[in-house]
Structure 1
Amino acid sequence: MGHEQQERGSGHLLLFPFLAQGHLIPFLNLAKRLESLGQRGGSGHRRLAITIVSTPRNVASLHRALPAGSSIGFAELPFSPSDHGLPPDAESADAVPLHAFPTFTFATELLQPSFEKLLTEIAGREGRKNVCVLADMFLGWTAETARALGVQHRMFLTNGAYASAVIFSIWLRPPSFPRSADPDDELALADFPDVRVRYVDFLNVVLNEDYGTDRSDPVVAYLCRMVSLHLRHSSGLVINTSEEIEPKGLHLIVKLSGLPTFAVGPVIGVGGRTATDDTAPDQDMCIKFLDSKPQASVLYVSFGSQSSIPASQMMELARGWRPAGVRSSGWCVHRWSPTGPRGEGRGRGQGVVVRGWAPQMRILAHASTGAFLSHCGWNSVLESLWHGVPVVGWPLIGDQLFDSRVLVELGVGVEVASGRCFGGLGSKGSERVRDVVETVLGDGDKAKDMRRKAAEMKKLARAAVGAADGDGKGKGSSVLAMERLVDSAFD
């Protein structure tokens, strides 16, 4: 057929994220990437319809983030948070108090009847072989529903491959730590004998000191069930990573799941509006502040949308990153507590505190940003790699602990502390912060090496999602994986 490609029919992808910003945003970005793939004529000129499934408030927010003329559609499922004792606007986890997160998580399973009705209607109208569900890790029941209706299903992991493999292994076959274990005691994982986990990291994953001897924690039990449903009923894993970033992690997740795996990342927003623009009134203030600072001199600090460190450790952190002699000329902090040094920092021109959503991609892209002190959520990790910014890691819970490992092994990160519920900054915390910030923002060999490696990872991350060049060759690994994903879903 020469350069011509045969029309390969149509397909309808239903994307269903968990109700949390850290999941909604990558699903939206995945939808945009899939839409772009169809527009470029990828995957044999297959026509793709793309629908994001969520609750009304989330749909409204995501819809506002689409560019004009986008063909991405939305389907709303009814959800009343107050029926579950949650705040009336709690359709996303960032609006849920931490103590109520279990209630919120369990409530999302009650969306199953509405989702089954929606999927039945679409499959009946378009043909079940022309529909495929891409659903979140936390929504394993969607795989069961899709299998019962004869519809293809894939799990989309918004986490990285390495962290997902380790977390799944801990949940499903936990290491048997004794209650008398020291925080730094290590045990190998049952699925991966060469991967060792510290007791303190294990505790920050399961959030229950009795887990392993008493597997009664309801949240972990729920997550185990969701993962098991995916592994039993889904036909593939779609992961927000790339072969270049996580070769070891991809090997582990394939070994654990036994499923076809599609590494399509980094799936991040690289321009246009975002789902949080309307709640980020301090965006221009941040950029003006960065404009006034020397190149690679500002430390950006954010612990994500759902959790943060205790106030006492936040103050210890603040004392540590601004001592005399540190090269840093300023700091930009996302969502500090009301008792933080907002007025002091602004008045002396040393820093900016953003109480709403920080324009994270713009901050990381700015030449004045020298490092990112991060909780190591996977979205933040990928955005750091995309912009070539070294990371000072303080992972708090769950997968973040193992995302930090990935950054350290890549040579672009250094860990200042680990853990929120267990562990943390430890004694002499401000001295530890000072030493790490000096290491990353300074002029020593370690800082230069981290900046060099970060620049290398920036090239690799962008190459992975690069389209074909002028002669039609040279597609990035993640573009090829995206095409294989679409072909596998409908062929």
Structure 2
Amino acid sequence: MEKHSKAEPLHILFFPFFAPGHMIPMVDLAKLFSSHGVKSTILTTHANAPLIQPTIDHFNSNSTHHHLLPIALLLVPFPSAEVGLSPGVENSVSITTPEMRTKMLQAISLFRQPFDQILREQLIDAVITDNLFVWSSDAAAEFCVPRLVFSGSGVFNHCVGDSLLRYDPMSALQTEDETVVIPGLPHKIEMLRTQMPDPKKRPEFWKFALDMREAAEKSFGDVVNSFYDLESHYVEHYRNFIGRRAWLVGPLSLYNRDVADNSRRGNRVSIDWDECLNWLDSKQPGSVLYVCFGTISHISNIQLREIAIGLDASGKDFIWVVRDTEGGLDWLPEGLEEKRGLIIRGWAPQILILNHSAVGAFLTHCGWNSCTEGVSAGVPLITWPLFADQFYNEKVVVEIEKVGVSIGAKEFGFFPDTKSLIMADVIEKAVERVMGEGEEAAGVRKRARELGEKAKRAVEEGGSSRADLKQLIEELSARRNAKSK
């Protein structure tokens, strides 16, 4: 294989999984590396390109002015026919059934061949791939290219995953309503069995988790969208007890201060930012509740109505981002939006909203991107996890950092039929616990503001995340230069 000269910039290939929560932070990561003199190339499919192309174009348009290297985009076909998905269904946003989700995961293994071809044809110094692409560790090793893992979640989630695989505490449980104590962690972490994927019911999930751990252990290390002060105990646990290398370079959202850029992150926003800004400007500081359950969550209409009734009873103004639902907005009580709400149908400029002074709390599904964006804005969270790493993320927010309160969700699941209904009065009380006048609310808000300041310091010159980024680039450059001798 042809070798780089030392004068050439480091070249990193980024390959995110096909979901907004994975793609958007990976693009932010590529922008961050490019801003530090690295040549960045992002690999994705044709149908997924429009999700990230505007952000890349905006970055590249400013690259010449700021003497930055532009980001390149490489497109490969999605194997729709091979796995039985309809043409154009190339992103988790389009997944509506468990069967489709299985087919999407099956498609992952079929990207090995085009990935190999790129490594064969281009001079790549390192790859940063999603943890779901377990084969990419072996692929990179075959070409003597270091593979870094990016999962889009925090270090705490990795530590919990390691403990579950290492000790298998769920194997001893006898009933559905038992509590699991996650062994070997710096804090006592208890979970309901129903809040976790059950390996007995989903053995394929357990096997895949083992495959991901094996692939990660063979990799160069992890690049994490987090910062040291958010997960300090678990960073030390991960590095020293588990023995894995990790560079915390986030929160990535804090590198996006440009209004135009934030309006381009993800799908086209469904509301004009000026309209949203004018509405927020008309509200008192800290008086608005922002509600968003992410891009791929499914909420039943009956649950949406309970949320609406709870928001109305809370007496707080709100911005609520809703996906398209069956029957449109028939579940919305008549007159509620006009009385105190702004409902955004589709994609919203979340970072801009969270950082507006009128926003006083964030009701969230606890996706890691949303958690870090809320934390970075210094906004307390009301946590309503649904699936994936979200119940673990809730522990970071509510129990470890104490910058939020839990709504009390108890069931892990991708679709509404697995969930118990959370009633309006519970929602109303949770809002009061973070936005009310009581001592608990005041304490949560104070801790959230303080953690937000720590997040900002982490990405500034001299901060922990800035130092980790520079260290990683230096290590990869030194490795590349040693190979060139």
Q: TM-score range by the shorter chain?
A: 0.7 to 0.9
Deviation, structure 1 residue 193: 8.2
Note if contact 2:304-2:331 (Cα within 8 Å) is conserved in structure 1: no
Q: 1:345·1:352 contact (CA, 8 Å) conserved in 2? A: no
> How far apart, in 2, do the equivalents of 1:262 and 1:154 lie?
10
- 1:227 pairs with one of 209, 213, 217: 213
Q: Secondary structure at the match of 1:322?
A: helix
Confirm whether residue 198 of structure 1 aligns to residue 186 of structure 2: no
Distance 1:98 1:171 in 2: 27
The answer for the alignment partner of 1:105 in structure 2 is: 105
CA contact (8 A) 2:131 2:216 kept: yes
What does 1:273-422 correspond to in 2, within 5 Å? 273=261, 274-281=264-271, 283-323=273-313, 326-335=314-323, 337=325, 338-342=328-332, 344-345=334-335, 348-408=338-398, 409-421=400-412
Secondary structure of the residue that 2:169 maps to in structure 1? coil
Shift of 1:73: 0.8
Q: State how far apart, in whole Å, the 1-side matches of 2:82 and 2:72 are.
A: 28
1:144 partnered with 2:138:
yes
Aligned to 1:118: 118
- Post-superposition offset of 1:21: 0.5
Encode CA deviations 1:48-106: one digit per residue, 9 max, x unaligned: 21111111222343222122144111111221424422232222111222421121012
What corresponds to 1:472 in structure 2?
none
| Higher alpha-carbon deviation: 440-449 or 279-288 | 279-288
Post-superposition shift, 1:240? 0.9
Aligned CA distance change for structure 1 residues 321 and 61 (closer, same or farther; 3 Å): closer
Letter in 2 for 1:149: F
1:270 to 249, 257, 263: 257
Aligned pairs for 1:202-217 within 5 A: 203-206=194-197, 208=198, 211-212=199-200, 217=203
The superposition leaves residues 220-266 of structure 1 with CA deviations (integer Å, 9 ceiling, x where unpaired) of: 422331232121x2011111111111102212332564222111111
Match of 2:226 among 233, 241, 248: 241
The answer to whether the Cα contact below 8 Å between 2:324 and 2:346 also exists between their aligned partners in 1 is no
SS class of match (1:485): helix
Q: CA RMSD for the aligned pairs?
A: 2.6
Alignment CA distance shift 1:362-1:193 (3 Å): closer
Instruction: Give the structure-2-normalised TM-score.
Output: 0.86
Q: Counterpart of 2:29?
A: 30
Counterpart residue number, 1:85: 84
Query: Matched residues in 1 for 2:425 and 2:87: separation?
Result: 43
Match of 1:65 among 55, 68, 76: 55
Structure 2 SS opposite 1:57: coil
Give the Å deviation of 1:375: 0.5
Q: 1:433 to 1:149 in 2, by over 3 A?
A: same
Change (3 A) 1:247 1:428: closer
Partner of 1:435: 429
Q: Secondary structure at the match of 2:244?
A: coil
Structure 2 equivalent of residue 12 of structure 1: 11
Letter in 2 for 1:488: E
Q: 1:279 to 1:95 in 2, by over 3 A?
A: farther
* 1:120-199 equivalence runs, <5 A: 120-122=120-122, 126=123, 131-171=125-165, 173-177=167-171, 180-189=174-183, 191-192=184-185, 195-199=188-192
- 2:482 matched to which residue of 1? none
Contact 1:138 1:227 in 2 (8 A): no
Contact in 2 for aligned 1:302/1:335 (Cα 8 Å): no
CA-CA distance at 1:350 after TM superposition:
1.6
SS at structure 1 position matched to 2:47? helix
Q: Do the aligned partners of 1:188 and 1:194 also contact (CA within 8 Å) in 2?
A: no
How far off is 1:385 after superposition? 1.1
Give the Cα–Cα distance (whole angstroms) in 2 for the partners of residues 34 and 432 of structure 1.
44
Contact 1:109 1:141 in 2 (8 A): yes
What amino acid is the match of 1:18? F
Q: Is the 8 A contact 1:320 1:431 kept in 2?
A: yes
1:419–1:138 CA distance, 2 compared to 1 (3 A): farther
SS at match of 1:37: coil
> Between the two proteins, what is the percent identity of the paired residues?
28
Q: For residue 41 of structure 1, what is the aligned residue in structure 2?
A: none
Consecutive unaligned residues of structure 1, counting only runs of 5 or more, are: 1-6, 39-47, 468-474
For the residue of structure 2 that corresponds to 1:158, the secondary structure is coil
- Post-superposition Cα deviations, 1:413-453, rounded to whole Å, max 9, x if no partner, equal 10012244469986873222221111211122222222211
SS in 2 for 1:389: coil
State the partner residue of 1:21: 20
Bigger CA drift: 350-359 or 339-348?
339-348
Could you say which residue in structure 2 is the equivalent of 1:261? 246
Contact 1:417 1:425 in 2 (8 A): no
Please state how far the C-alpha of 1:167 moved relative to its aligned partner.
2.7
- Any gaps of 5 or more consecutive residues in structure 2? 1-5, 64-69, 479-485
Paired residue secondary structure (1:229): helix
The answer as to whether partners of 1:282 and 1:358 remain within 8 angstroms in 2 is: no
1:439-450 equivalences under 5 Å are 439-450=433-444
Contact 1:417 1:424 in 2 (8 A): no
Partner of 1:488: 475
Quickly say closer, same or farther: Cα 1:420–1:393, change in 2 above 3 A: same
Shift of 1:117: 0.8
Q: SS in structure 2 opposite 1:448?
A: helix
Equivalent-residue separation in structure 2 for 1:344 and 1:352 (angstroms): 14
> Which whole-Å CA distance do the structure 1 matches of 2:170 and 2:229 have between them?
33
Q: 465, 469, 479: which is aligned to 1:478?
A: 465
Residues in 2 aligned to 1:419 and 1:116: alpha-carbon distance in whole angstroms = 42
Matching residue's letter, 1:186 = V
* 1:451 alignment partner in structure 2: 445
- Which one-letter code corresponds to 2:434 in the other structure? V
Residues 52 and 265 of structure 2 are in contact (CA less than 8 Å); yes or no, is this contact kept in structure 1?
yes
CA contact (8 A) 1:301 1:333 kept: yes
Change (3 A) 1:356 1:171: farther
